Structure 1
Amino acid sequence: MEHDVRGVVRRSGAGIAGDVVEPLGRGLDNTAYLVDKAWVVRFPADPEALDVAREGRLLREVADVLRGIVAVPEPVFAAEGALGYRLLPGVPLMLRQPAPSITSTLAKTLLALHAQPVERFAGLVPVDADPPQLWLEETRAMAAELELPEAARFLEQEPPAPAERLVFSHNDLGAEHVLIDDGAVSGIIDWSDAAICDPAYDYGLLLRDLGAAAPPIPAELRDRALFYARCGLIEDLAYGVREYVEKSRRQAAWLFTRTGG
């Protein structure tokens, strides 16, 4: 085992026995373990880049904002470079068709996050304000390695103007980070990329993943949300993870024929 999971949880003072430890997943940013079938313990790949104590404070703030709407991981310890929290029930929304109640919960979640004063999250999250022009340049480079004729017209167009107002948001609200259980949203996970950012971005990711079942997009955000959805779809195809590729291939024709309404 790469990390001393049992030692960390037993020394944390959180009252976790640590008798059973199983690998849960490894990403670019974190390695996660399931402990005693009830707890998640995450270790960042780069402890200097991801401060678990800061993330713990962030998750407590987010839980307060979203209380009564949706659950988020609430940490029980941040120690020795690890973050521990109770496992949320459910499976990722990825590759599943959401019920209207799921769409409604996601809409309420974004409205609640975007309504917060950004000062509340100062020092907890960065500002992520890359202009759409940079997004388009990077997307064109990725698309050059793909066979995606549906995207040709999009890639030739000028990008939308940058956002005039930035908000606090999840900043990576794809379907893989939405948990569902018994037909309802049971949690939203992975807040490592949360930032002060363009409010259209998370709407765009949900549009990319859920298509017509995505939450309604405010009129002033629609053009940029569609832009981000298309960029995100191309990124998924370029990244090459099978589930993402399958999802994005199904969405491509629909997404690249939309006009933004």
Structure 2
Amino acid sequence: MTQAPTPTADTVRRLVRSLLKDGADDTAGPEVRPVAPGDEAVTWWVGARHVLRLAPDRDGTVRQRREMRLRDLVRPHLPVAVPTSVAHGEWAPGLAYTLDTKLPGGSAEVHDVSAVGEADLAGLLTGLREVSVRQAEAIGVPRTGPRSLEALRRAAERAAARLAEADEFDPARLHQLTPPAAVQLAAQPGTAVLVHHGLTGEHLVVSADGRVRGVLGWTDAVVGDPAEDIAGLARAVGSPAAVRAATLAGYGARPCLRGLWLARCDTVIHLAEALDRPGRTPLPELRRRLELAWEAILLERVTELREDDDPDEGP
């Protein structure tokens, strides 16, 4: 297999000059700098108005091309912006690139989401549910089955014991999710929708006044369990805001609580893993996500859900 070339500033600068030679930017070429400096710098700021994303391999190329089609599909359904590709092609043989417009604003890691911003998130969840699953699958979006919350609960219990040793977490907090409750909160049949599956703080574009102005990072989108996006929001903006947004979007108690516990179990597991094997996400950010996901909400009383509850009824 041919080794993929490593993107450099010179590679990016030459490519950008050929794309923006119409005078849209400085004729000497805009400033280029990696978004996250490292050995595999594949996302670059281009001046003040564009972002260049380079697929690092063939799988990344397939995902990026699918993402561009998906953004066009979801755009009419969403009240928030998604990036627009102003140019795309190959930056190396078989490796794709897209030059996207930069959405104005910061991230949810920088700006808090306001009450009006929660309504924006509700519109996002509503819009995703309105996208045709058939059309999404036709452009290559994969379908995935729901995760077992009971299996996740057991894994989180093991991880919590590791965190307790490091004085990072009280395992007793997980006792709120009993085995019967985990079974009760299993995903319901026939509820699959288009799921962004990457609603992290860095993918939510938030203005200084707390409005959610855009959503980035559509490469991991799937057709699947909508509770996964509720979980993503819980990790990104806190469980109360996530549940309020999901409720505004028409989701009932069951998917809201399922998303809550997916997020809580995930954050415990991810932090425990990072203590033993540090990864790309810094420990302070993993601790922050855990804190956000474990914020208390009003729907904690899982035992009051009846087995025959309509999953789409309000709490």
TM-score (norm 1): 0.84
Shift of 1:231: 2.1
Bigger share in strand: 1
| Structure-2 separation of matches of 1:27 and 1:203 | 31
Q: 77-86 or 232-241, which moves further after superposition? A: 232-241
Q: Letter of the aligned partner of 2:123 in structure 1?
A: K
8 Å CA contact retained: 2:196, 2:222: yes
- Give ranges in structure 2 of 5+ residues lacking alignment: 1-5, 91-95, 275-281, 303-314
Shift of 1:198: 0.4
8 Å CA contact retained: 2:144, 2:223: yes
| Structure-2 separation of matches of 1:79 and 1:166 | 33
Alignment RMSD:
3.1
Query: Residue 141 of structure 2 aligns to a residue in which SS?
Result: coil
- Give ranges in structure 1 of 5+ residues lacking alignment: none
Q: 13-22 or 125-134, which moves further after superposition? A: 13-22
| Structure-2 separation of matches of 1:14 and 1:55 | 26
Which of these residues, 40, 64, 71, is aligned with residue 51 of structure 2?
40
Shift of 1:235: 4.2
| Structure-2 separation of matches of 1:200 and 1:91 | 25
Which of these residues, 263, 278, 288, is aligned with residue 246 of structure 1?
288
8 Å CA contact retained: 2:246, 2:256: no
| Structure-1 separation of matches of 2:49 and 2:38 | 21
Shift of 1:174: 2.8
Which of these residues, 113, 122, 128, is aligned with residue 144 of structure 2?
128
Which of these residues, 2, 13, 21, is aligned with residue 7 of structure 2?
2
Which of these residues, 84, 95, 105, is aligned with residue 74 of structure 1?
84
Query: What's 1:212 paired with?
Result: 240
Query: Residue 52 of structure 2 aligns to a residue in which SS?
Result: strand
Equivalent residues, number: 259
Distance 1:30 1:102, change over 3 A: farther
Q: Letter of the aligned partner of 1:242 in structure 2?
A: P
TM-score (norm 2): 0.71
| Structure-2 separation of matches of 1:47 and 1:185 | 33
Distance 1:194 1:251, change over 3 A: closer
Q: Letter of the aligned partner of 1:172 in structure 2?
A: G
Shift of 1:92: 0.9
| Structure-2 separation of matches of 1:134 and 1:121 | 29
